[in-house]
């Protein structure tokens, strides 16, 4: 059969390997082929396309770190500039001013950041602070902190030596100070035993004690802050509103009605004192729920 029978135009370019030199040329071709690709971790061929080279692992790590740093920088900026503290509100406080409450809990005067302050104080526990049951620090919004105070009422104080002993609505002495609070009445004429912080008030005259506690509670409820409450030897009570006006309460009976009448009449009496410079005593000793039993006696 003619040798040219198996040849066509598609195979014209191939030549027979007639010599050993031709075989060696084939090996050179194989080596050139192997240089055209690299194997990956799974043994798969990775072709070299032009000048593109695999990105070194070290460079990829640097890019990841740079990305993390950018995210952190954005987050820090959001905390610093997005939670700037503009207002600190104190509510529920009567015995202490807002500044005193902040000082008691150690709240910084020029705190810059709402979120940081909230995270620092939201678990604050009020311990050993007189007349404070609880303090809660809340973040109202990203620019305002609210300090909610739950107080026990300061009903009055008793003086022993140079110290003033302040008691709560349970008759427990909560603190001892060398100065008198302006909004707390001083109880005089009460015969009490030794006074210590954390101890109950000791009074042998239980009628006077119950009358003192009830009257002090009523004055707090009606937001009346007299200068002094005096208990006479006869057991009668007198309230000194200020230097010019006092109120005779008499025996500690019908105190609810007497306190209500005092609350109604006091604004008018204070106005008269300011405009007419009056001084005198409001008599409620014989109070019987009628207007005829209420008398004001001028003393100037």
What rounded mean pLDDT belongs to the chain? 80
Going from the C-alpha of 179 to that of each of 161, 167, 255, the distances in angstroms are 12, 15, 29
Round to whole Å and give the CA distance between 1 and 56: 60
The answer, yes or no, to whether residue 62 has pLDDT greater than 80, is: no
Higher-pLDDT residue of 46 and 230 is 230
Higher-pLDDT residue of 271 and 110 is 271
Per-residue HEC secondary structure of 39-108 comes to ECCCCCEEECCCCCCCCCHHHHHHHHHHHHHHHHHHHHHHHHHHCECCEEEEECCCCCCHHHHHHHHCCC
Give the pLDDT score at 74.
Answer: 62
Lowest mean pLDDT among 74-78, 123-127, 207-211, 263-267: 74-78
The pLDDT tens digits for 272-289 are 898 888 899 999 999 887
Higher-pLDDT residue of 58 and 40 is 58
The answer, yes or no, to whether residue 172 has pLDDT greater than 50, is: yes
Round to whole Å and give the CA distance between 294 and 292: 5
b/e code 214-238 from CB counts within 10 Å (16+ = b):
ebbbbbbeeebebbbbbbeeeebbb
pTM of the predicted model, to two decimals?
0.63
pLDDT > 70: what percent of the chain? 75
Q: How confident is the model at residue 118 (pLDDT cuts 50, 70, 90)?
A: confident
Give the pLDDT score at 18.
Answer: 47
Give the pLDDT score at 77.
Answer: 57
Q: How confident is the model at residue 158 (pLDDT cuts 50, 70, 90)?
A: very high
The answer, yes or no, to whether residue 78 has pLDDT greater than 80, is: no
Round to whole Å and give the CA distance between 211 and 191: 14
Q: How confident is the model at residue 129 (pLDDT cuts 50, 70, 90)?
A: confident
Mean pLDDT for 78-91 is 76
Mean pLDDT for 67-77 is 67
């Amino acid at each position: 059969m003619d040798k040219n029978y198996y040849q066509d135009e598609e195979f014209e370019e191939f030549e027979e390997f007639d010599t050993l030199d031709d075989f060696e040329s084939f090996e050179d071709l194989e080596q050139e082929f192997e240089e055209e690709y690299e194997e990956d971790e799974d043994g798969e061929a990775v072709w070299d396309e032009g000048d593109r080279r695999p990105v070194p692992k070290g460079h990829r790590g640097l890019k990841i770190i740079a990305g993390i740093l950018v995210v952190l920088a954005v987050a820090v900026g959001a905390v610093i500039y997005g939670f700037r503290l503009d207002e600190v509100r104190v509510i529920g406080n009567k015995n202490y001013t807002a500044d005193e409450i902040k000082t008691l809990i150690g709240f910084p005067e020029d705190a810059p950041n709402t979120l940081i302050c909230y995270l620092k104080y939201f678990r604050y526990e009020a311990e050993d602070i007189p007349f404070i049951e609880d303090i809660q620090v809340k973040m109202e919004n990203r620019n305002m902190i609210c300090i909610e105070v739950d107080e026990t009422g300061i009903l009055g104080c008793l003086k022993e030596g140079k110290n003033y002993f302040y008691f709560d609505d349970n008759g427990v002495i909560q603190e001892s100070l060398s100065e008198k609070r302006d909004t707390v009445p001083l109880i005089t004429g009460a015969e009490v035993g030794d006074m210590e912080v954390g101890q109950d008030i000791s009074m042998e005259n239980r009628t006077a004690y119950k009358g003192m506690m009830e009257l002090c509670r009523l004055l707090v409820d009606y937001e009346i802050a007299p200068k002094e409450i005096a208990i006479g030897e006869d057991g009668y009570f007198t309230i000194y509103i200020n230097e010019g006006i006092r109120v005779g309460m008499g025996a500690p009976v019908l105190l609810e009605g007497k306190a209500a009448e005092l609350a109604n009449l006091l604004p008018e009496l204070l106005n008269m004192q300011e405009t007419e410079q009056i001084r005198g005593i409001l008599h409620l000793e014989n109070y019987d729920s009628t207007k005829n039993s209420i008398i004001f006696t001028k003393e100037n």
